[in-house]
């Protein structure tokens, strides 16, 4: 679907969604009018309605889904929201949504976050065992990323390999930084 700009006939490239108390306002603007409205780069067009539904659907029907992937109508046991609801209002209902819809959300999150898929940085102060578990978990992520890098090199996909190397070095740096800075309180 292609929206014309709200203010002229040009193709809208910037789609701004605002939800307030369940009332949603969507504005579609062309480059020029988006810039005039001060949106420009602020507008997360990659993350906006057109394409999002497709991304969600392809993620939930992919041949090798990244995680157990529920369909658009499966609801989160925590809050009852479905992926379709998320597509409509662009907000998740509860923290459990992140677990239930992890596979489909990965695609959305990576789009919104310029390719990033894992948290790096502060972890909340929590009991010591939780911190250890956290560290073990992130080491596992790192191992998986290194595995993917080896694979990419083997099949000579150098673009992927370069991007993975970049991600890994950031991740390692973040891991060091967060361990250095944020030794959780006992």
Partner 1 sequence: MMKNIPIPGDLAGEGSFCGTGPDGDVVVSSRVRLARNLAGHLFTHQASHAERRGILDACRSPVLELLGPGCAGVRLFGDPVWIRMDSAAAEDKQLLLERHLISRGMARRDREFPRAVAAAADGSRSVMVNEEDHLRLQAVFKGLALEEAFAAADALDDSLSQKLELAFSRRFGFLTACPTNVGTGLRAGVMLHLPALAATCEIEKVKAVARDTGLALRGLYGEGTEPMGDLYQISNQTTLGRCEREILADFSQGIVPQVVRYEREARAALAKHRSLWLKDHVRRAWGALTHAHLMPTKEALSLLSQLRLGVQTGMLPDVSDARLARLMFLAQPAHLQKFLGKRLAAAERRQERAGLIRDALAKA
Q: Which of 61, 113, 132, 169 binds partner 1 (CB under 8 A)?
A: 113
The entry of partner 1, Zn ion, none near residue 55 (CB within 5 to 8 angstroms by kind) is none
Beta carbons of 146 and 165 less than 8 angstroms apart: no
Assess 90 for contact with partner 1 (CB under 8 A): yes
Q: Helix, strand, or coil here: 106?
A: helix
Assess contact for 142 and 175: CB atoms under 8 A: yes
Q: Which is nearer to partner 1, 1 or 136 (CB)?
A: 136
Q: How far apart are CA 22 and CA 163, in angstroms?
A: 39
Stretch that binds Zn ion, among 88-96, 122-130, 147-155, 156-164 (CB under 5 A): 88-96
Residue of 71, 77, 121, 127 interacting with partner 1 (CB under 8 A)? 121
With CB under 8 A, what is the number of residues at the site for partner 1?
A: 59
Check binding of 74 to Zn ion (CB under 5 A).
Answer: no
* Least spacing, CB of residue 154 vs partner 1, in Å: 25
Q: Using a CB cutoff of 8 Å and minimum separation of 24, what contacts does 1-7 make?
A: 1/50, 2/50, 3/28, 3/50, 4/28, 5/29, 5/30, 5/33, 6/33, 7/33
Pairing between strand 23-29 and 14-20? antiparallel
Name the residue among 185, 131, 143 with its Cα closest to residue 168. Answer: 143
- The single residue among 2, 9, 41, 129 that binds partner 1, judged by CB under 8 A, is 41
Binder of partner 1 out of 62, 116, 128, 139 (CB under 8 A): 116
DSSP secondary structure code for residue 70 in this structure:
-
Residues that bind partner 1 (CB under 8 A): 16, 18-22, 35, 37-42, 44, 47, 78-79, 81, 89-95, 98-99, 102, 105, 108-109, 112-126, 133-134, 137-138, 141, 167, 170, 173-174, 177-178, 181, 185
């Amino acid at each position: 679907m292609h929206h014309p700009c709200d203010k002229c006939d040009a193709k809208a490239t910037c789609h701004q969604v605002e939800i307030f108390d369940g009332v949603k306002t969507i504005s579609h603007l062309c480059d020029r009018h988006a810039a005039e409205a001060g949106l420009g780069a602020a507008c997360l067009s990659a993350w906006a309605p057109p394409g999002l539904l497709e991304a969600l659907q392809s993620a939930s029907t992919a041949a090798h889904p990244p995680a157990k992937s529920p369909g658009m109508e499966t609801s989160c046991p925590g809050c009852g929201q479905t992926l379709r609801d998320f597509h409509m209002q662009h907000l998740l209902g509860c923290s459990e949504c992140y677990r239930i819809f992890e596979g489909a959300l990965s695609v959305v999150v990576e789009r919104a976050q310029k390719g990033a898929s894992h948290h790096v940085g502060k972890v909340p102060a929590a009991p010591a065992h939780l911190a250890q578990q956290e560290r073990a978990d992130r080491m596992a992520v790192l191992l998986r990323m290194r595995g993917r890098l080896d694979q990419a090199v083997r099949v000579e996909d150098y673009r992927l390999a370069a991007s993975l190397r970049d991600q890994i070095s950031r991740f390692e740096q973040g891991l060091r930084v967060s361990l250095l800075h944020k030794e959780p309180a006992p």
